Amino acid sequence: MTMPQSVTAATGLDALCHNTEAYLSAGANVITDSAALEGVRLVVDNLERAFTDGSDRPAREAMSLGALLGGIALAARMVYGHSVGYTVATRFNLPHGVSCGIPLPYIISNYALACAPKMKRLAEAYGVDGGEDPVELGVAVGEKVTRLVSKLRLPTTLKELGVKESELSALADECIKLYYRPNSPVVFDEKSMAHFYRMMWNGELAPRRE
């Protein structure tokens, strides 16, 4: 109940990342999906409340359960959102949840096509009604995450974080070489990862359609 706002924001975003990335993982199954979707719903419905009023016990309890479900969903393993987070965390002295929260909206929108059959349920868990097109759903969910992160007074782009444009290529290369994710349904190479980092730097959610 006395957790500072900054810690509430960072740990809450980490729970949201765990649940969302687990749901998008190629290692997901019916058990992890069930945990992840309920975890997403709990965090989305309660994180801003817990951040605004730390004495809001129902919101705190819901966040605790959402984080627990994220821990269960972790069995599916994380995707590249965590990898991106690792490349900026130590450079900018970021809490883990913040470093993983910055790429989360872009992960959702860029994984939408590869995870097309799952996007409608994810959007519903996020409280988003964006139609049937998986990419449009992914962008709509990404926009909702961006709004939430902004309300937590945290950066939503790599540019806002302080990453220089000249650093993008090296960060993308590090992500691919050091933090490869075999369970990612989206396969990145050096070129596509560099483009992904540029999207995160510019705040561009809409992915290229091949």
Is residue 46 a part of any domain in this protein? yes
Is residue 45 a part of any domain in this protein? yes
* Side chain identity at residue 3, one-letter code: M
CATH number at residue 168: 1.20.1090.10
Task: Measure the CA–CA gap between 75 and 93, rounded to whole angstroms.
Answer: 27
Over 90: is that where the pLDDT of 209 sits? no
DSSP 98-141: HHHHTTHHHHHHHHTTTTHHHHHHHHHHTT----S-HHHHHHHH
The predicted structure's pLDDT at residue 208: 74
Tens of pLDDT, residue by residue over 125-173, are: 999 987 889 999 999 999 999 999 999 999 999 999 999 999 999 999 9
Is residue 182 a part of any domain in this protein? yes
Is residue 99 a part of any domain in this protein? yes
The predicted structure's pLDDT at residue 164: 98
Helix, coil or strand: residue 28: coil
Tens of pLDDT, residue by residue over 58-72, are: 999 999 999 999 999
The predicted structure's pLDDT at residue 163: 98
Is residue 17 a part of any domain in this protein? yes
Count of structural domains within the chain: 1
pLDDT mean over 175-194 = 97
The mean predicted confidence, pLDDT, of the chain is 97
Interhelix angle 30-52/57-73, rounded to 10 degrees, is 150
Is residue 100 a part of any domain in this protein? yes
Over 60: is that where the pLDDT of 210 sits? no
Confirm whether pTM is higher than 0.85.
Answer: yes
Task: Measure the CA–CA gap between 167 and 147, rounded to whole angstroms.
Answer: 26
Over 60: is that where the pLDDT of 12 sits? yes
pLDDT above 90 as % of the chain: 96
Is residue 210 a part of any domain in this protein? no
Tens of pLDDT, residue by residue over 21-56, are: 999 999 999 999 999 999 999 999 999 999 999 999
Task: Give the CA distances from residue 81 to residues 24, 180, 210, in Å, rounded to whole numbers and listed in that order.
Answer: 11, 11, 21
The predicted structure's pLDDT at residue 40: 99
Token pair, residue 141, equals 């969910």
Range of the domain at 92: 5-202
The predicted structure's pLDDT at residue 131: 84
Is residue 207 a part of any domain in this protein? no
The predicted structure's pLDDT at residue 130: 74
